Amino acid sequence: MFLLLFIAGSAMAQDRTITGTVMAQEDGLPLPGVSVKIKGATGGTTTGADGKYTIRVSGRATALEFSFIGYISQTKAVGGATTINVNLISDSKTLSDVVVTGYTTQSKRDVTGSIASVSGEKLKNLPVQSFEQALAGKAAGVNIIQPNGVLNNPPVFRVRGFNSISLSSYPLIIVDGIPVFTGDQSANSAAGNALGDINPSDIESIDILKDAASSAIYGSRAANGVVVITTKKGKQGVTKINYEGWVGSTKAQNLTPLLNAAEYVQIKNEARTNIGLAPAFFLQNRSDGSQVETNWYDYAYRTATAQNHALNFSGANEKTSYYVSIGYSNQDGFILGNSFERKNGRVNLDHKLFKNVTIGTNFSYSNTLNRAPNTGSLPGQTFSTVGLGRLAIVLPPNVAAYNEDGSYNINGSAVGLGANTIASNFPNAAVLVNEDRNTSESDRLIANAYASIQIVKGLTFKTTYGIDNLKIDNNSFVNRIQGDGVSYNGGATSNYVKNSRWNWSNTLNYSNTFGDHSLGALIGAEDQYTKSDGYGATRQNVIDPFIKVYQGAFGIITPAGLVQGNNAFRSYFGSLNYDYKKRYYLSGSFRRDGYSGLSSGNKYGNFGGASAGWAISEENFYKNSGISKVLTRVKIRGSYGEVGNINIGNYPSLFLYSPGLYGADPALTFSQAGNPDLQWETSKKADVGINLEFLGGRFSLDVDYYHNNIDNLVQNAPQAPSKGVPGNAITTNIGKMYNKGFEFTLNSKNIDRENFSWSTIFTFSTLKNEVTALGNNNADVFGATSLETANITRVGYPIGSIYTVQTAGVDPATGERIFINRFGEKLRFSFQRATAARYQYLEGPNAGTNAPAIDASLDAVIDGPSIPKWFGGLDNNFRYKDFDLTIGLTFSGGNKLYYGSLAGLRDQRFWNNEKDVLNRWTTPGQVTDIPRLVYGDNTSNGSAFAQSQNVFSGNFLKVRNLALGYTLPKGLLSKYGVSNIRVYAQSSNLWIISNYPGPDPEVSVNGNSTATGNSGNLAPGVDRNSVPSGRTFTFGINVGF
Amino acid sequence: MKIKLNNKLKYLFIAAPIVFATSCKKDFLNTSPDTALPIEDAFSTPARILSQVNGIYAGVKSGQFYGGRYLIYNDIRGEDFIVNKPNGVTGLDTWRFNVTSGTNEVVNLWGAIYAAVNRANLVIEGVAANASILTPAVAKQYVAEAKFSRALCYYSLLQLYAKPYVTDNGASLGVPLRLKGEKDLTGNDLKRSTVAEVYTQILKDLNEAEPDLALTLAATRASRNTAIGLKTRVYLSMGNLASVVTEANKIVSPTAPFTATSGVANKLETNIATVFAGSYVGNEAMLSLPMADLDAPGTQNQLAYYYNVESAGGNQEFFLNPTGILANAAFASASTDARKGLTAVVGTNTWLTKFKKPSPYTDYIPVIRYAEVLLNLAEATVTSDPVRSIALLTAVRQRSNPGYVFPATDLLPANLKNTILTERRIELLGEGFRSPDVMRLGLGFTAKSGTQGSAPAIPFNTAGYIWPISSTEVQNNKLIVQN
């Protein structure tokens, strides 16, 4: 019967006209320019501006094919219909399947190197200042540690571990082909991450090139990994308008409980009476009889609000595509006086000038204003006596911030005495927060222009000229009443720094397919020039208290913040990609880099990498096997290469003498011991990996094993200070280190139904770092955190391991801290005894007799690695009808953290203490970890030198992101011309599961610093006098027109 | 036609970059800073060589060394100062004898002194290599100034990092003797010479410097009398009184008024206030390190910041111990001694106001004053020539208190030395002499305390008496032996 009808139907078929409309599934808008073809026939048509088409089909036509770039093609049976409407589904997978390797793009399926890609979608709507803050847990092998809660403080960003000892381990960041400035570019306490100038909502994709084969095209700058940012482009179709906005609230989390006024008085006086001193701390009453009780956290932290808006317009036709965006972000931090305000605009244009010539530009401008008090939480500020993070925990709780008449409660340069007879020498935090200012404002232009010419089919020449101009205006003011400014009666420091870089690359790209052979080749040349100039001054001695700006009247002016430097790169590079039947892959790349900072014989270095892959699943034998139904794709791959790190500064090879002054006379002094033999730091990277896809991509698993062998390590080799060499260090190639580990990325569409879907992304990475050789005959390199040393880099151990003097609790008999010296002997310590008798043997034949004092540089031992041995993320996304829920977890561990703040929180000077000090030893036999209190004791607690009782496990699990969204029904919206609206509520940093006693185990006061006194490489994992992290709640809306 | 034009444009796109690229300068990769000279130019003119000599003094003048902290450490180790701001950054642990090898005082002073030593060594070698562009006399003078500076550096190192000479005639370990310029990766390991060996080198340098130094020169640089003056100090530290006398006699007239008869006409200023206000390079100054707004001691290194009162721009870090030298009658309320005028009372405490310039604290640093030489000589002649000894003592006292007559008991042979030592504490208070004096006399440090903390007594040569060697030296010099 059916058969008969069918025959009849086809017999009746004649030429006729079919009409219809093609629309986009996601927003229901008509799609112009869609190709409509008759299956199996030549000819066809395209849809008009209204998405409508008309096509004449013969009676034999069975189906129509609809295809359009960026959408999944559809075939519709013709049947007897005269109207066929089609909803095309956006092929987001197609876009995300392309990885951008800087000079070229490649299909993800064809990649044989190790590249982690994160779509811009994943970064959307998050309450961050810069995109990389949102990368935590999103990509295997990529570790992000937010140092603390200071806004726009650059996170410690590491790709496959720490890849240098003395040089920066921060990856190379490429934005639309331009290597951009990174790091904290501010000159004062208002942190200014250079990447905070980039609006995260402009980012289409982030590709992180991890192994040498992928990154070798960046040669000497690739050892720390390369992060390639591609910004959004217009897509074919009518103009799209998108708005994303959120408002939020943030506050400090997990603040350490401190002694209240009564407890403070009790503890401090007990410390005094224990050693026969008279009480010196007393409660104070106001005139109304109420007792002064000050929670200094209230003068440091607040509940702050933030808002963020991004609006973009995009679209494209056959000739031109455009993406125009503007953004505004105004985020107040939970630290009083800390804020981040960014205004930015972007125009991305591509235009087909002639048939074979395309020109375009990515043009972005931003203005970012960072404000902050001195938080004492940026690298180098750790022991500042005016750091807010520290003041909040040390100031006496029985002293008021303000006098009853509203004036500041001060005593000379310090906070007022209250009823105490011993003054605190810390300043009143309220004065500093109210009167001092730090701002760092950047004007940033990142732009490029390109022209690309197709010379013959497959062969394209492209020339791209890019600039990154970053101008920073730093201003700070310190008041004359309290803090650093007292001794010079207030002062202001301003400086202005112009960083400019141009980069000009010319490439010739060939790509073609010859039967089963696909070939891609690239050669290119690139010049880059970077220049920094900065000038400024400090003015001191405010003439009139009204003056609070640099431009006002002051008594003294001295130069400050002078910057002058330049460097240049000249590079030649090439790459080759080949595959046979998409089964066997080979690729290689090469770069020859010349750098101005090296001496004439050593300027150029050669770098390169190669990789191979085998898509087993493309083999016929595999396709025919039963397993191919379940395990649909299998690809194994491997790579090896050599890349470099050239963050050596501008002139390390030169011996320099600096002119200066001796009083009023000229003085010339040896200022840099150069090293003309200095060469590139090189990193030999090996990687093997496997990509598995199950059930046609429903589950996928990528596994990588990597081994980075960094030899020729550039070290600021420490010199014996008695040599008197400037800085006691000479930059030299010495030392070796490796990083190795496994990376797992699991993608799973657990459930995918029309009304309910659940997907999971899980990343897990391991990292083993070991230093295998160091300069000066493997001399240990100590990692200082300003005045304190709690880290060591020693051959045979991971870089920057935690290194402290071991303690063994408190002697129950005497209440004295027990130290263990380098001979394994236990010593009791009491600050009460005479210097020579402070340390006494606890046990053994010499028990009770005097012992040599602990010498931290000799008696300390390694507690463990400070960098996480494993880390990752688990993202679960649920959708039920119009509701969606995202739970993003991150985890990290296997490392130790040095919680130096705890030493301060138990210091027995006039400093306030944490609540746990109430458990101090008071009676013989009592078992506790808090020694008997001795006034003035800064040794038993760990202030004098770093001690093991302040070392803790760094393991944690964080609920980093929890978001609940609701997408409004389409029908309702289309009446108003709105294609979609999603509203959501979100929380960041909601919950931390950890045994760490400090506020947040994700911490690193030394951040990315490479300064000798506070290096983030040499002294990671230190939490000292830092502000905590914040917890944020936001409500947002995304609207598309 | 249109196509042709397009094609031409196309070639333009290709050609332009290539033309531009080839026109790029060949020295694109040769960059150098605009603010520092290459080493090749450092000795290229007489003016630059002189600048380098000044650079040695600038090294000595580092705020971490003689520009501030070295004096402060030596004074606060003694019993005349009490901590008011118990801050680890501003000498708390030095004051209370709680330093370890890693304490910033211990590490930074060691580094600053040796940085100055290396500058001196580089100048000695650089002048020798470039002598042709200087006159022989000038070349010799510059080398002599470098040697003088090196001697001052080594003497300073011994005062904190080694046991005093009197312990065992210098048989104890001193410090590594670096006598060659260092600028490359070699030579980290060098053992400590003995105290005696270091003193021998100091005297060798000073003796070689003395004839070559300029006969007269502004007091901001060393002239012949400066080297002689330093020798009196060095010999006194070694207990070699005869040599103190020999050296001092070169620059101290036999009788009052005491003056130097050769070289700079050194003598006491009429008023001690003059020494610390205005003219820092008068006749009394034998070496005085200049400060200027653009060449100041630097944060938390400045003498006035540590000692002066807040109302005058100081930070009141340390006040005068009421049971220290402040208890002497010279500072009593009825005293008319001009040196009392170099103190001030704020609240319950008395503060040293000798260094009085507010931020950026540009008081010159007195390194050697004629008054010290007189007191050195007085101490050296207590037994050999008590009459002259008393005359020298009286000259110092009566400059500040013209009518003063020492009680007869103070001048008895048994008491004269103590009287002179007391006068030293009064006269040189805050100028970095107390700790070296305590140590060369074989004394212990006495206990002291105030509301902000207490410091224990440290008997002679017991734990804490001298500083440990800097931890960074121990880490990088395998031949070093810790104290």
pLDDT digits (tens, 9 = 90+) for A399-444: 999 999 999 999 988 999 999 999 888 999 999 999 999 999 999 9
pLDDT digits (tens, 9 = 90+) for A964-997: 999 988 777 777 778 889 999 999 999 999 999 9
H helix intervals, A490-580: none
Residue boundaries of the structural domains of chain A: 2-90
Does pLDDT of B26 surpass 80?
A: no
Q: How many domains does chain B have?
A: 1
B425: in domain: yes
Say whether B187 sits in a helix, a strand or coil: coil
The pLDDT of residue A87 is 82
Helix, strand, coil percentages in chain A from 3-state DSSP, rounded to 5: 15, 50, 40
Handedness of CA A809, A812, A813, A816 (dihedral sign): positive
Q: Which residue has the tokens 């203005």?
A: A367
pLDDT of residue A778: 87
Domain that holds residue B309: 48-181+192-467
Which chain B residues contact residue A718 at CB under 8 A?
A: 472, 475-476
**Residue B307's CATH number:** 1.25.40.390
Residues of B whose CB is below 8 A from A570:
28-29
Query: Do the Cβ atoms of B421 and B379 come closer than 8 Å?
Result: yes
**pLDDT tens, position by position, A515-573:** 899 999 999 999 999 999 999 999 999 999 999 999 999 999 999 999 999 999 999 99
Report the C-alpha dihedral over residues A123, A126, A129, A131, rounded to 10 degrees: -10
Do A670 and B476 count as a contact with CB atoms less than 8 A apart?
A: no
Residue B17 counted as domain residue: no
Q: Is the pLDDT of residue A7 over 70?
A: no
- 3-state DSSP assignment of residue A971: helix
Write out residues 202-221 of A within 8 Å (CB-CB) of B: none
Q: Which residue type occupies A230?
A: T
Radius of gyration of chain A (CA): 32
CATH of domain A2-90: 2.60.40.1120
Does any CB of chain B come closer than 8 Å to the CB of residue A502? Answer: no
A780 near B CB under 8 A? yes
A776 touches chain B (CB under 8 A): yes
Res. B23 pLDDT band, cuts 50 70 90: very low
- pLDDT > 90? residue A576: yes
Instruction: Provide the b/e sequence for B71-82 (b: ≥16 CB within 10 Å).
Output: bbbbbbbbbbbb
Least reliable range by pLDDT among A247-256, A740-749, A773-782, B463-472: A773-782
| Closest approach of B43 to chain A, Cα-based (Å) | 10
ipTM over cut 0.90 = yes
- Chain B environment of A506 (Cβ under 8 Å): 17-18, 21
Which residue in A651, A721, A945 is closest to B100 by CB distance?
Answer: A945
Kindly tell me if the per-residue pLDDT of A695 is higher than 50.
Answer: yes
Select the residue of B52, B310, B477 nearest A722 (Cβ to Cβ).
Answer: B477
- Please report the pLDDT score of residue A787 as a whole number: 86
Question: Does the residue B3 lie in any domain?
Answer: no
Instruction: Give Cα separations from A115 to A609, A877, A1037 (angstroms).
Output: 14, 23, 32
Residue appearing with tokens 């990528």? A702
Q: Residue A612 above 90 pLDDT?
A: yes
- B73 belongs to a structural domain: yes
Preceding peptide of B456 cis, ω within 30°: no
Residues of B in contact with A272 (CB under 8 A): none
Nearest Cα residue to A712 out of A750, A757, A745, A681:
A681
Strand order in the sheet with A74-77: A44-46, A35-38, A63-67, A74-77
Q: Do B107 and A721 touch (CB under 8 A)?
A: yes
What local confidence, expressed as pLDDT, does residue B21 receive?
53
The answer to whether residues A670 and B119 touch, using CB atoms and an 8 Å cutoff, is yes
- Of A179, A198, A176, which Cα lies nearest the Cα of A449? A176
**Pair type for strands A172-175 and A226-231:** parallel
Is position B128 within any domain?
yes
What confidence score (pLDDT) does residue A978 get? 85
- Is-contact A400 A296, C-beta < 8 A? no
Chain B contact for A543 (CB, 8 A cutoff): no
Residue among A355, A487, A568 minimizing CB distance to B28: A568
Residue B31 lies in a domain: no
In this predicted structure, what is the pLDDT of residue A610?
95
- The answer, yes or no, to whether residue B1 has pLDDT greater than 70, is no
Q: Does A352 reach chain B within 8 Å, measured CB to CB?
A: no
Residues in chain B with CB shorter than 8 Å from the CB of A944 are 93, 98, 100
pLDDT computed for residue A916 by the predictor:
96
Contacts of A1037 (CB under 8 A, 6+ apart): A243, A244, A245, A246, A981, A982, A983, A984
Give how far the C-alpha of residue A815 lies from the chain's centroid of Cα atoms, to the nearest Å: 44
**Residue that wins the pLDDT comparison between A73 and A611:** A611
User: Chain A window 96-125: which residues touch B at a Cβ cutoff of 8 Å?
Assistant: none
Query: B-chain residues within 8 Å CB-CB of A785?
Result: none
Indicate whether A809 pLDDT > 50.
yes
pLDDT of A5 higher than 50:
no
The rounded mean pLDDT for chain A is 91
How large is the average pLDDT for residues B296-310? 95
Domain membership of residue B408 (yes or no) is yes
Asked whether A178 and A569 are in contact (CB, 8 A), the reply is no
Residue B141 lies in a domain: yes
What ranges make up the beta strands (E) of B85-131?
none
Q: Is the pLDDT of residue B4 over 80?
A: no
Contact list, A280 vs chain B (CB under 8 Å): 451
Confidence of residue B14 (pLDDT cuts 50, 70, 90): low
**Other beta carbons within 10 Å of A756:** 12
